[in-house]
């Protein structure tokens, strides 16, 4: 399909982080763009402010007539949309070009030098760092990001068609639609077992993705992963290796050893060794575009971050409030390591909203172990997203597995009262559901109380 010949683009599920980035892209190309979503959110409000018409009822009469021309309209949908959705059924049954978001992203990457970031953790932060590095070195690029970059204040950035930066999402095997020239794999922990069935099948899919990179391309693989590629790591014998780490005023200072030369005294300000690895592979991928390495070194230190990725909401001498998207045990462990390293010997309270009944069931024991590390634990009810409840899988069930006496299941209505009651030195909110909508309320209440 030639996207240049498309005049109208209609999105079913336009408010998702990946879908909204594509909507921005087509609007930037001066296409007619509109869409449906079930919920009014800050993202959909931003799209509306750009002139994109959005409605919130599954009602074909609310779709403008111009989008009902099959010859000039592309329909983009998210797999989260149920198959019985009436608008979706209309377009499918009337010979429209109906593509998943991943298929459209694949068409975009086919026409560019594609930098793809894969892995069960770290995709969004790594791709945001990479896009920032390339922007700062004036590389023409189109970036589709899975979070809101604090450098761009957006999940989309455009400065040219030459290079694309995308997240290679393993969910629903979406990354198999891409055409990567340079890629990385940050991690391959078991996840999305509702799709893959077992960790072996997940790893097989990552190996298949790695095989999409041609002989002229390059694959970066985190040290220790069972896939061949150019390795990167910390204090080991990787091809790209960080050594001599120190911390000064919350900033990492380190040396970077690479096949293309050594760099001394680099700085990176996002806490956590996992983020340091994300910065490392983003730097390595940017080098492969031909960007000037000295300018890349300077740009690494100016990366601001990603909303809901170890985001400091309050940071004073006696109280710190951190918010993060972490929704897998490995990610929670990484947050705990970062907090312990940057804020040692402080009383911690973690608020966690489990995401998906299936993930909670599959990793319950690991969740219990990772959460028990914090001094106190509050659990919200499980966020279902696309799933129906599973008998017996509840937050109370998960709570019973956590070997920590300071634990409790709370409702959103009780949350702020419980936080104030506990008076933590470090508060951490975690989860991929709608807990992010509570963060601003918590911040306002705690700033007011102080």
- The binding site for ATP comprises 119-125
Do 119 and 188 form a contact (C-beta atoms < 8 A)?
yes
What DSSP designation does 231 have?
E
| Inter-CA distances, 94 with 61, 71, 75, 81, 97, Å | 16, 11, 12, 18, 9
> What does the block give as tokens for 24?
């921005």
Q: Which residues of 123-162 are buried (b: 16+ CB within 10 A; e: fewer)?
A: bbbbbbbbbbbbbbbebebbbbbbbbbbbbebbbbbeeee
Do 147 and 278 form a contact (C-beta atoms < 8 A)?
no
Sheet of 97-100, strands arranged across: 53-55, 32-36, 8-12, 73-77, 97-100
Helix, coil or strand: residue 37: coil
Rounded to an integer, what distance in angstroms lies between the CA atom of residue 183 and that of residue 358? 29
Q: Provide the annotated binding site.
A: 119-125
Sheet of 407-409, strands arranged across: 311-315, 320-324, 426-430, 348-352, 376-379, 407-409
Radius of gyration of the chain (CA): 22
Listing DSSP states for 437-450 in one string gives: HHHHHHHHHHHHH-
Rounded to an integer, what distance in angstroms lies between the CA atom of residue 321 and that of residue 439? 10
Rounded to an integer, what distance in angstroms lies between the CA atom of residue 239 and that of residue 113? 23
Do 39 and 19 form a contact (C-beta atoms < 8 A)?
no
Listing DSSP states for 232-277 in one string gives: EEESSS-SEEEEEEEEETTEEEEEEEETTEEEEEEEE-S-SHHHHH
Do 374 and 337 form a contact (C-beta atoms < 8 A)?
no
| Inter-CA distances, 190 with 2, 71, 194, 362, 383, Å | 37, 42, 11, 9, 20
> Between 273-287 and 293-300, two packed helices, what is the crossing angle to 10 degrees?
160
Helix, coil or strand: residue 11: strand
Q: Name the nearest CA neighbour of 35 among 48, 25, 46, 17.
A: 48
């Amino acid at each position: 399909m030639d996207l240049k010949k498309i005049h109208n683009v209609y999105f079913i599920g336009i408010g998702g982080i990946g879908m909204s980035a594509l909507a921005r892209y087509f609007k930037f190309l001066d296409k007619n763009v509109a869409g449906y979503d079930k919920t009014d959110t800050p993202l959909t409000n931003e799209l509306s402010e750009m002139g994109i018409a959005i409605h919130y009822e599954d009602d074909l009469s609310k779709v403008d007539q111009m989008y009902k021309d099959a010859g000039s309209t592309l329909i983009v949908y998210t797999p989260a949309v149920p198959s019985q959705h009436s608008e979706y059924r209309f377009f499918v049954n009337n010979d429209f070009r109906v593509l998943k978001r991943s298929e459209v992203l694949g068409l975009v990457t086919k026409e560019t030098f594609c930098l793809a970031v894969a892995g069960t953790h770290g995709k969004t932060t790594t791709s945001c760092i990479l896009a920032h590095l390339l922007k700062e070195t004036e590389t023409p690029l189109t970036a589709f990001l899975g979070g809101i970059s604090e450098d761009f204040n957006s999940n989309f950035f455009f400065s040219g068609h030459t290079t694309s930066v995308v997240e290679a999402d393993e969910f629903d095997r979406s990354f198999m639609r891409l055409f990567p020239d340079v890629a990385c794999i940050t991690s391959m922990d078991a996840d999305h077992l509702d799709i893959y069935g077992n960790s072996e099948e997940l790893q097989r899919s990552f190996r298949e993705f790695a095989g999409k990179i041609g002989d002229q391309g390059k694959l970066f693989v985190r040290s220790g992963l069972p896939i061949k590629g150019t390795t990167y790591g910390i204090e080991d014998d990787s091809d790209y290796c960080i050594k001599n780490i120190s911390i000064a005023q919350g900033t990492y200072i380190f040396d970077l050893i690479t096949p293309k030369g050594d760099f001394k005294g680099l700085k990176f300000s996002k806490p956590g060794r996992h983020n340091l690895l994300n910065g490392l592979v983003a730097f390595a991928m940017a080098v492969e575009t031909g960007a000037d390495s000295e300018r890349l070194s300077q740009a690494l230190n100016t990366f601001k971050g990603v909303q809901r990725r170890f985001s400091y909401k309050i940071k004073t001498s006696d109280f710190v409030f951190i918010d993060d998207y972490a929704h897998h045990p490995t990610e929670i462990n990484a947050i705990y390591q970062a907090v312990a390293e940057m804020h040692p010997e402080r009383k911690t309270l973690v608020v966690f909203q489990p995401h998906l009944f299936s993930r909670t069931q599959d990793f319950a024991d690991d969740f219990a172990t990772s959460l028990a590390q914090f001094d106190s634990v509050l659990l919200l009810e499980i966020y279902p997203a696309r799933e129906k409840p599973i008998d017996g899988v509840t937050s109370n069930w998960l709570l019973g597995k956590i070997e920590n006496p300071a634990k409790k299941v709370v409702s959103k209505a009780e949350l702020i009262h419980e936080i104030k009651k506990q008076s933590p030195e470090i508060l951490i909110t975690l989860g991929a559901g709608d807990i992010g909508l509570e963060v601003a309320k918590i911040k306002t209440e705690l700033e007011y109380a102080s």
